[in-house]
């Protein structure tokens, strides 16, 4: 019984870790984007032709989320430390 | 007195929008190589060229009332005032506060224009033409002041404001003391308004402004030392607050050769070393070089602090210089000055 309860807690912690990986990466990207976004809007107000390049620059920090998301997916699905544990 | 209360966190981000915008605006300034081409154009060609640039709206709007030099002069002034007001309008918090503090120099300019105009008996419509309403005083208020009959009426309109103390120095005979007092007041109140805060941006603005005061004082020294003016008179004309104030004050009244030797080794020396000699014919050449040095200094500082007030400051100084260069070219051409003489006066950073 004790083993089963521990597995549940572990699985829960794993889910929390996965959530943090994506969530914190998202916050980090947001912090990075606030400055870039503001600067891009400033430039586009003067030079509308800069919109395409500006959007590209603005989306660069988004790539960080992909790393976070990859870590989350690995935690949730690919890495299974409980493969030997019997769940109820 | 307004006080800056700003959180420490995320401060540089407040500058992201305005610095992005001024960097885009900087690309629209008249390129330095155009000045040489403008020298070979006539007035209508210059006006047509300016119509293709950021001055289009003003040239179009004013071309029904003015032509030639007057058109270009008023269009460039109107555009500069519009641009500076825009900078202040599109910024928030700290940048907006600092930009307005800097732009108060145009209030001083307008008050000087007003007093000078009245002193020499110009009509109110003449005076209004030379206003640059980029500061805190609105165009309507300035128009109202221009309609007043005497200098005393104008001075009493400023009772209760910061300007009252400087304006009280008017003795009815000449404006030089009063104008000097207004300049000193501008820098004094900037130091008081910005220096009293703990903001990083304010510190950077003051760093530039202190260098500007030094350069202005240096130009005064060049002029007065060259003319052999008495040390005490020169020291009275120096603006306090510069970083090198004490050193420059000591140089007042020195023989010109000794004064030049004393300047060697200062950071600005390399900008003037090739023309600064004892038999210097025109101080205005030195002045142009020193002003160019100041622009380079502002942009160089802004490379160290890309998200700060400095790029905005660099832009404002560059814009101001552009307008004064265009005016020098058109006024010089109208007066029939030789091209080399006009070129020497142009400030190209």
Q: What's residue B312's pLDDT? A: 92
pLDDT bucket at A26, cuts 50 / 70 / 90: very high
Q: Give the pLDDT of residue B8.
A: 47
CB–CB contact B20 A38 (8 Å)? yes
Please tell me the predicted confidence (pLDDT) of residue B225. Answer: 81
Range B179-186 average pLDDT: 86
End-to-end CA distance of chain B: 36
What is the mean predicted confidence (pLDDT) over B73-93?
90
Nearest CB among B13, B18, B19 relative to A34 is that of B13
pLDDT class of A79 with cuts at 50, 70, 90: low
> Residue B323: is its pLDDT beyond 70?
yes
For B25, which residue in chain A has the nearest alpha carbon? A46
Helices (H), B40-162: 43-51, 56-62, 68-89, 93-119, 124-129, 139-146, 151-157
* ipTM for the complex shown: 0.77
pLDDT > 70? residue B240: yes
pLDDT at position B175, please?
Answer: 80
pLDDT at A86: 47
More confident position, B39 or A7: B39
Q: Measure CB to CB from residue A43 to each of B13, B24, B307 and give the nearest one.
A: B24
Please count the other Cβ atoms lying within 10 Å of the Cβ belonging to residue B71. Answer: 22
Sorting pLDDT into bands at 50, 70 and 90, what band is B241?
Answer: confident
Domain parsing of chain A, residue ranges: 20-78
> Are B21 and A35 inside 8 Å of each other by CB?
no
The verdict on B25 touching A (C-beta cutoff 8 Å) is: yes
pTM for this model (two decimals): 0.87
Reduced to 3 states (helix: H, G, I; strand: E, B; else coil), residue B282 is coil
Report the chain B residue with the minimal C-alpha distance to residue A33: B13
pLDDT for residue B202: 81
Counting every residue written for chain A, the total comes to 88
Tokens 């500007």 correspond to B212
Instruction: Give how far A28 is from chain B: nearest CA, Å.
Output: 13
pLDDT of A4 above 90: no
Subunit contact A50:B24, Cβ cutoff 8 A: yes
d(CA B75, CA B72) in angstroms, rounded, equals 5
Task: Give me the long-range contacts of A11-20 (CB less than 8 A, separation at least 24).
Answer: A11/A82, A14/A75, A14/A76, A14/A81, A15/A76, A17/A75, A18/A71, A18/A72, A18/A73, A18/A75, A18/A76, A19/A72
The answer to whether residue B278 scores a pLDDT higher than 80 is no
Average pLDDT over residues B41-64: 88
B23 and A50 within 8 Å at the Cβ level: the answer is: no
Q: A29: distance to nearest CA of chain B, Å?
A: 14
Residue B67 has pLDDT above 90, yes or no: no
Query: Quick one: tokens of A4?
Result: 């089963």
Burial B238-254 (b: 16+ CB within 10 A, else e): bbebbebbeebbebbbb
Hey, what are B122's tokens? 């110009």
B10: confidence class by pLDDT, cuts 50, 70, 90: very low
Interface test with A, best of B21, B53, B96 (most A CBs within 10 A): B21
User: CATH assignment of A20-78?
Assistant: 1.20.20.10
Q: What is the distance in angstroms between the Cα of B55 and the nearest Cα belonging to chain A?
A: 15
Q: What is the largest CA-CA distance in chain A?
A: 68
Instruction: Answer yes or no: are the C-beta atoms of B51 and B63 closer than 8 Å.
Output: no
Mutate to test the interface with B, among A38, A53, A58 (most CBs of B within 10 A): A38
Average the pLDDT over B192-218 and give the result. Answer: 83
Per-residue pLDDT tens for B125-165? Answer: 888 888 888 888 888 888 888 888 888 888 888 888 888 88
Give the single-character DSSP code of B345.
H
């Amino acid at each position: 019984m004790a083993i089963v309860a521990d597995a549940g807690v572990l699985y829960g912690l794993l889910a929390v870790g996965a959530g943090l990986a994506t969530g914190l990466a998202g916050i980090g990207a947001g912090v990075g984007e606030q400055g870039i976004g503001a600067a891009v809007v400033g430039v586009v107000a003067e030079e509308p032709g800069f919109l395409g390049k500006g959007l590209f620059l603005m989306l660069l920090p988004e790539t960080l989320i992909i790393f976070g998301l990859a870590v989350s997916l690995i935690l949730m699905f690919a890495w299974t430390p409980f493969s030997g544990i019997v769940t109820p | 007195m307004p006080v800056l209360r700003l959180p420490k966190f995320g401060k540089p981000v407040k500058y992201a929008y305005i610095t992005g915008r001024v960097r885009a605006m900087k690309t629209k300034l008249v390129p330095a190589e155009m000045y040489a081409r403008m020298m070979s154009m006539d007035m209508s060609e210059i006006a047509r060229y300016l119509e293709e640039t950021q001055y289009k709206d003003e040239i179009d709007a004013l071309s029904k009332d003015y032509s030639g030099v007057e058109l270009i002069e008023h269009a460039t002034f109107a555009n500069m005032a519009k641009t500076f007001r825009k900078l202040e309008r599109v910024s928030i918090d700290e940048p907006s506060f600092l930009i307005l503090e800097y732009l108060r120099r145009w209030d001083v300019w307008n008050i000087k224009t007003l007093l000078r105009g009245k002193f020499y008996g110009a009509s109110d419509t003449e005076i209004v033409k030379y206003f640059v309403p980029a500061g805190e005083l609105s165009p309507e208020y300035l128009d109202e002041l221009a309609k007043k009959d005497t200098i005393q009426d104008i001075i009493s309109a400023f009772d209760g404001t910061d300007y009252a103390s400087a304006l009280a120095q008017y003795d009815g005979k000449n404006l030089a003391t009063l104008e000097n007092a207004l300049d000193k007041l501008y820098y004094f109140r900037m130091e008081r308004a910005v220096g009293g805060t703990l903001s990083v941006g304010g510190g950077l603005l003051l760093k530039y402004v202190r260098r500007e005061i030094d350069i202005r004082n240096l130009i005064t020294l060049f002029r007065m030392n060259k003319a052999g003016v008495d040390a005490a008179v020169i020291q009275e004309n120096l603006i306090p607050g510069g970083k090198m104030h004490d050193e420059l004050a000591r140089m007042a009244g020195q023989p010109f050769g000794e004064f030049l030797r004393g300047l060697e080794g200062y950071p600005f020396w390399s900008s003037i070393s090739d023309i600064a000699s004892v038999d210097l014919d025109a101080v205005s050449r030195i002045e142009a070089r020193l002003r160019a040095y100041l622009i380079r200094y502002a942009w160089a500082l802004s490379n160290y602090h890309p998200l700060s007030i400095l790029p905005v400051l660099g832009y404002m100084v560059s814009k101001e210089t552009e307008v004064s260069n265009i005016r020098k070219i058109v006024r010089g051409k109208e007066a029939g000055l030789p091209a080399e003489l006009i070129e020497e006066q142009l400030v190209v950073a």
